[in-house]
C-alpha cells in the first residue's frame, strides 16, 4: 500500500527497497549523485533482499534480506532478531555483539539465532573474544550448523578446541571451513596445527 498510495506513506513513512543504493563521493553519502544526510531522514526502511549499510540500522523498520553484512558496529544481541529469520549469507566485519549488561555474546549464541544460515563470516582485526574452549562443541549441538555451506573465522584464539574440530573435520562432507588463527597462539598450538596439516597432506585419498 505504501508503494501505491502516498496517503499510506504520509501516515507511516516507510520506503520498501531490495537494498539501500548508496555510494561515497568525497566522504559524503550519496544515492545516485544526490548527497544526503542520514540524520535528516524522516522515513524508515524495509529492506527485502540485501542489507549492507550499517549506518541505516537505527532507521530500519524491517529486514527480509537473505544477504546481511554488518560492519564496524557494536550491536546488542536482541537487535539481531531483525535479521535472523531470513538471512542466509551473513558477514560480520569488526562487529561486537553484546548482551544488555554489556557482556560479550559467545559466537555459538550468535550463530544459533541465524536459523537459515548457509554461509557465515565473522572477521575481526583483533583476537575473537567471543571464541571460548566450549565454542566448537556448542556449535555441534546446533542442528543448522551441520548443514552450513561455509564458515570463515579469523584471529581465532588458542582456547579454540582444535582437537574436537579436527575430529569433526575428518567426518564433515558439507561445510567448507576457513580458519585463520591469531598470531598470539603458542608454539605447541602451532606445532599441533602443523601436525594436522601434515596428516591431511599425507592422505592419498580424500573423502
The residue among 136, 89, 84 whose CA lies nearest residue 112 is 84
Phi–psi pair at 113, nearest 5 degrees: -70, -25
pLDDT for 106-124, tens place per residue? Answer: 999 999 999 999 999 999 9
Instruction: Kindly report the three-state secondary structure assignment for every residue of 122-190.
Output: EECCCCCCCCCCCHHHHHCCCHHHHHCCEEEEEEECCCCCHHHHHHHHHHCCCCEEEEEECCCCCHHHH
Answering whether pTM is above 0.75, one says yes
Is residue 181 a contact partner of residue 193, using CB atoms and an 8 Å limit? Answer: yes
Which DSSP helix (H) or strand (E) runs through 94? strand 89-98
**According to the model, what pLDDT value does residue 15 have?**
81
CA quadruple 64, 70, 75, 77: dihedral sign: positive
In the chain (207 residues long), the average pLDDT of successive 10-residue segments reads 79 82 60 67 85 82 93 93 95 95 96 97 93 95 96 96 93 93 96 94 77
pLDDT for 129-164, tens place per residue? Answer: 999 999 999 999 999 999 999 999 999 999 999 999
The CA dihedral of 140, 142, 147, 148, to the nearest 10 degrees, is: -80
Tell me the residue length of the chain: 207
R_g (Cα) of the chain, nearest Å:
20
Amino acid at each position: 500500500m505504501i508503494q501505491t498510495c502516498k496517503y499510506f506513506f504520509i501516515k507511516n513513512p516507510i520506503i520498501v527497497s531490495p537494498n539501500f543504493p548508496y555510494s561515497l563521493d568525497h566522504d559524503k553519502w550519496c544515492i545516485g549523485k544526490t548527497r544526503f544526510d542520514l540524520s535528516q531522514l524522516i522515513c524508515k526502511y524495509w529492506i527485502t533482499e540485501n542489507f549492507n549499510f550499517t549506518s541505516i540500522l537505527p532507521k530500519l523498520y524491517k529486514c527480509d534480506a537473505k544477504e546481511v553484512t554488518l560492519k564496524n558496529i557494536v550491536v546488542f544481541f536482541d537487535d539481531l532478531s531483525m535479521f535472523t529469520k531470513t538471512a542466509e549469507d551473513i558477514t560480520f566485519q569488526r562487529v561486537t555483539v553484546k548482551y544488555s549488561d554489556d557482556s560479550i555474546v559467545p559466537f555459538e549464541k550468535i550463530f544459533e539465532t541465524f536459523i537459515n544460515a548457509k554461509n557465515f563470516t565473522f572477521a575481526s582485526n583483533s583476537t575473537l573474544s567471543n571464541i571460548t574452549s566450549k565454542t566448537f562443541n556448542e556449535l555441534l549441538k546446533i542442528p543448522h550448523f551441520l548443514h552450513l555451506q561455509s564458515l570463515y573465522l579469523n584471529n581465532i584464539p588458542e582456547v579454540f578446541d582444535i582437537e574436537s574440530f579436527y575430529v569433526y573435520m575428518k567426518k564433515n562432507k558439507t561445510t567448507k571451513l576457513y580458519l585463520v588463527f591469531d598470531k598470539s597462539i603458542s608454539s605447541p598450538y602451532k606445532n599441533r596445527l602443523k601436525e594436522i596439516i601434515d596428516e591431511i597432506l599425507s592422505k592419498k585419498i580424500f573423502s
